[in-house]
Amino acid sequence: MPLIVVAVFYRKFWGIAYLLLMAGMMIDVDHLVANPIYSPGRCSMGFHPLHTWLPIIVYALMLIPQKTRILGVGLCLHIILDVIDCQVTNGIWYSNV
Ligand SMILES: [Zn+2]
């Protein structure tokens, strides 16, 4: 999925696209501290420490300064994809574990 986004929108800006992907992957390190690491029916939102409201507000604020904007886009994109995943698999937007 991120590769499709890159191919369509960032063909001319692969350096930026790479940063976006790195940003998205950065917050998935918190999936690794979860036990078990991957569970198909689980909603990441609200479960993993970097997928809760406080960090999400920080990601949104990162869109404002030009310096951190590209990272903010990557992080917000990641959150949006995880939210969609929760909605599709569990029918919820945010888990209250
Ligand atoms: Zn995630």
What is the Å distance from ligand 1's center to 12 Cα?
Answer: 27
10-65, pLDDT tens digit by residue? 566 777 777 777 888 888 887 777 666 566 677 888 888 899 999 999 999 999 99
What is the Å distance from ligand 1's center to 30 Cα?
Answer: 8
Assigned token pair, 66: 């030009």
Look at the pTM and tell me if it is higher than 0.95.
Answer: no
What is the Å distance from ligand 1's center to 94 Cα?
Answer: 12
CA torsion through residues 34, 71, 78, 47, sign: positive
- Return the closest-CA partner of residue 22 out of 82, 54, 70, 83: 70
* Whole-number pLDDT of residue 19: 79
- Return the closest-CA partner of residue 54 out of 21, 25, 79: 79
Of 4-8, 20-24, 57-61, 70-74, least confident by mean pLDDT is: 4-8
